[in-house]
């Protein structure tokens, strides 16, 4: 297995683990809505999100499902060595990084993981190519 393939696999594994974490968030939000468990999430910077977590957690389910489905799809695409998996991973990781300011501090770790995934993908895709294309 060449270096690029190993890097793609590492990114796919990170995305698969991340998908499982997002799936647990979907389950937690549903259980919070039905009153089975309380709010598991720490306060975030934007009070509107705290209100949703505390009073209407099910309203956040589409957001969690978006990230869960795209991460799973990206992991599947990368495991199958498909270009659409690469671009789906770039899309979902970039979207997550853009969402981070709204969900700090809990999303800080997510930003680091997504940055690592993007780095692995770009390193695998671009490798040791030069900027000028002369080498």
pLDDT for 44 equals 84
| Rounded CA separation 118/87 (Å) | 10
Binned at pLDDT 50, 70 and 90, residue 135 comes out as low
More confident residue, 62 or 100: 62
134 in a structural domain: no
Domain span at residue 55? 3-126
pLDDT for 46 equals 83
What's the burial of 14, exposed, middle or buried (CB within 10 Å: 0-12/13-18/19+)? buried
Structure tokens at 32: 């919070």
pLDDT for 45 equals 83
106 in a structural domain: yes
pLDDT for 134 equals 67
| Rounded CA separation 33/60 (Å) | 10
Residues 6+ apart with CB under 8 A from 99: 107
Q: Considering its fold, how many domains does the chain have in total? A: 1
In the block, tokens 């040791």 appear at: 128
């Amino acid at each position: 297995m060449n270096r690029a393939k190993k890097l793609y696999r590492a990114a796919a594994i990170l995305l698969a683990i991340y998908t499982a974490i997002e799936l647990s968030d979907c389950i937690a939000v549903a259980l919070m809505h039905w009153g089975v468990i309380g709010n598991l999430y720490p306060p975030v910077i934007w009070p509107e999100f705290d209100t949703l977590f505390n009073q209407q957690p099910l309203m956040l389910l589409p957001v969690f499902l978006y990230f869960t489905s795209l991460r799973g799809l990206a992991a599947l695409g990368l495991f199958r060595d498909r270009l659409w998996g690469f671009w789906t991973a770039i899309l979902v990781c970039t979207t997550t990084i853009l969402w981070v300011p709204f969900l700090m501090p809990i999303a800080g770790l997510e930003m680091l993981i997504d940055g690592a995934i993007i780095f692995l993908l770009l390193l695998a895709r671009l490798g040791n190519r030069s900027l000028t294309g002369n080498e």
